[in-house]
């Protein structure tokens, strides 16, 4: 979050000249002297401010609580103290640490190879180069002529535990902290990028698109067309921090249901969902749902079934169009054609039955939940993804249309809504409904 606020601060005062430098700080492990100077200057200004002055500096658009700002200042102080000049004796060894995090097992190497094999041929060289040097600039630049490391790529080591309230940044040794499965080209939708920038190099294209997004956001901040509130807090304690009577048309809850009971997530966030908008939606994502199920929940283990999926992929027109210049149909694409709905519904039923707050009968042995049980969780109902599509975000991303910004085909996004926001008036009051219809018919006949 300290990095997010740093970037927002830089974006709020950006110009067309500075925007490309912000994009480099956002994306690249290696920085030029101009970019590093801008980064250090921004850190110094943030360290010298408090939450009130910060809000004023962003034209009252970005509001950070005093508690959260003080916590992030400790991160900025640590970044400022790091020696990032590669020629210095005490320079942080980010490149070495990054290489040590590169997966050495054969499965991970095959995954990287499969990813590079899936992208269009013209992009493969630039992506392969990024895996080796992590440089993303406006134009292809050797890392050897970029004299500084990007200190914002440091923090607690991947896998190191952190408990808010017991640990503070000063207790932690800052190391390279970007997970090895974090690929920057997945940050933006590839289809959006190629509409604006068509280049051979994906790193150049990603940098150019990020620069454009920085410029757009700068204008929105200056015109006060957006309002951002940033809180470092457990989501269970979020509501008291928000403005009074705050309500939202869309709430994206990430994959909180992977770590908390679904009922707890829904009960906590449901009061924040707009009462006035019948189309208001709360979205929850699950990434790890298939982990404790049998292997077939992710992909079929039967070779004949896998062969059938491969044939389906190859015969799909969208695949033929988008992957015409790629080398192979990969496992992630096959996931999009595999109907594992029964496993996902089984997962939700298992989650439901382990919600002790919701008894299914007065008997000692609880009955397995039905689909109706799954659809109703407190005041919210689950969109029936079995027979219709989600209204806001697809249940499952169609990754084969985005050959560079690849997402796992196993991710699932659930949409929750208030039943009374999408009701049929007949069921509210059948007699009144018939009377109204009859009155309308009589009026229509009189007009005729």
Domain ranges of the chain: 2-230, 247-298+340-427
Q: Which residue shows structure tokens 């200004």? A: 45
Question: What pLDDT score was predicted for residue 336?
Answer: 76
- Of 319, 333, 315, 326, give the one whose Cα is nearest residue 410: 333
Can you give the pLDDT at residue 308? 87
Rounded to whole angstroms, the Cα distance separating 8 from 445 reads 62
Radius of gyration of the chain (CA): 26
- The crossing angle, in degrees rounded to 10, of helices 33-48 and 19-27 is 90
pLDDT recorded at residue 288: 84
**For residue 378, what pLDDT is reported?**
87
Nearest-angstrom CA–CA distance, 287 and 119 = 23
Q: For the chain, what percent of residues have pLDDT higher than 90?
A: 46
Q: How far apart are CA 117 and CA 317, in angstroms?
A: 19
SS3 307: helix
The total number of residues written for the chain in this structure:
448
* pLDDT lower than 50: segments of the chain: 358, 364, 422-428, 433, 444-446, 448
**Each residue of 72-108: pLDDT tens digit?**
999 999 999 999 999 899 999 999 888 887 666 666 6
Residue 74, pLDDT score: 92
Per-residue confidence (pLDDT) for residue 198, from 0 to 100:
87
Which SS3 state, helix, strand or coil, does residue 213 take?
Answer: helix
Question: 203-212 b/e with 16+ CB inside 10 Å = b?
Answer: bbbbbbbbbb
Q: What is the per-residue pLDDT across 115-174, written as a single tens digit (0 to 9) for each?
A: 887 788 889 999 999 988 999 999 989 999 999 999 999 998 766 666 655 566 767 889
């Amino acid at each position: 979050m300290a990095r997010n606020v740093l970037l927002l601060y830089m974006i709020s005062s950006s110009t067309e000249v500075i925007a490309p430098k912000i994009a480099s700080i956002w994306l690249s492990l290696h920085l030029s002297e101009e970019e590093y100077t801008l980064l250090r200057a921004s850190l110094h200004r943030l360290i010298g401010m408090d939450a009130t002055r910060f809000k004023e500096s962003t034209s009252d658009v970005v509001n950070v609580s005093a508690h959260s700002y003080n916590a992030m200042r400790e991160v900025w102080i640590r970044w400022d103290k790091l020696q990032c000049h590669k020629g210095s004796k005490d320079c942080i060894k980010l490149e070495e640490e990054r290489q040590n995090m590169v997966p050495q097992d054969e499965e991970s190497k095959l995954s990287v190879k499969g990813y590079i094999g899936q992208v269009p041929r013209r992009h493969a060289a630039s992506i392969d180069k990024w895996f080796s040097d992590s440089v993303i600039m406006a134009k292809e630049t050797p890392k050897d002529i970029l004299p500084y490391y990007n200190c914002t790529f440091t923090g607690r080591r991947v896998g190191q535990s952190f408990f808010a309230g017991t640990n503070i940044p000063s207790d932690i040794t800052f190391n390279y902290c970007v997970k090895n499965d974090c690929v920057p080209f997945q940050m933006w939708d590839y289809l959006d990028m190629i509409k604006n920038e068509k280049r051979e190099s994906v790193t150049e294209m990603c940098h150019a698109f990020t620069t454009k997004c920085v410029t757009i956001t700068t204008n929105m901040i200056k015109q006060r067309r957006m309002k951002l509130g940033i809180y470092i807090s457990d989501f269970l304690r979020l509501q008291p921090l928000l403005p009074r009577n705050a309500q939202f048309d869309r709430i994206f809850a990430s994959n909180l249901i992977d770590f908390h009971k679904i009922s707890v997530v829904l009960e906590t966030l449901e009061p924040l969902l707009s009462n006035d908008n019948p189309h208001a939606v709360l979205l929850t994502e699950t990434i790890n749902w298939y982990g404790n199920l049998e292997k077939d929940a992710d992909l079929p283990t039967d070779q004949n079934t896998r062969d059938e999926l491969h044939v389906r992929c190859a015969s799909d027109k969208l695949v033929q169009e988008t992957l015409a210049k790629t080398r192979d149909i990969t496992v992630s694409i096959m996931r999009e054609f595999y109907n594992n709905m029964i496993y996902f519904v089984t997962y939700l039923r298992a989650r439901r039955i382990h919600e002790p707050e919701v008894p299914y009968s007065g008997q000692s042995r609880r009955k397995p939940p039905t689909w109706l049980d799954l659809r109703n969780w407190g005041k919210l109902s689950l969109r029936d993804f079995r027979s219709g599509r989600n209204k806001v975000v697809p249940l499952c991303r169609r990754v084969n249309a985005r050959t560079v910004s690849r997402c796992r085909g196993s991710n699932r996004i659930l949409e929750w809504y208030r039943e009374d926001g999408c009701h049929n008036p007949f069921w509210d009051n059948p007699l009144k409904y018939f009377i109204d219809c009859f009155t309308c018919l009589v009026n229509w006949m009189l007009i005729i």
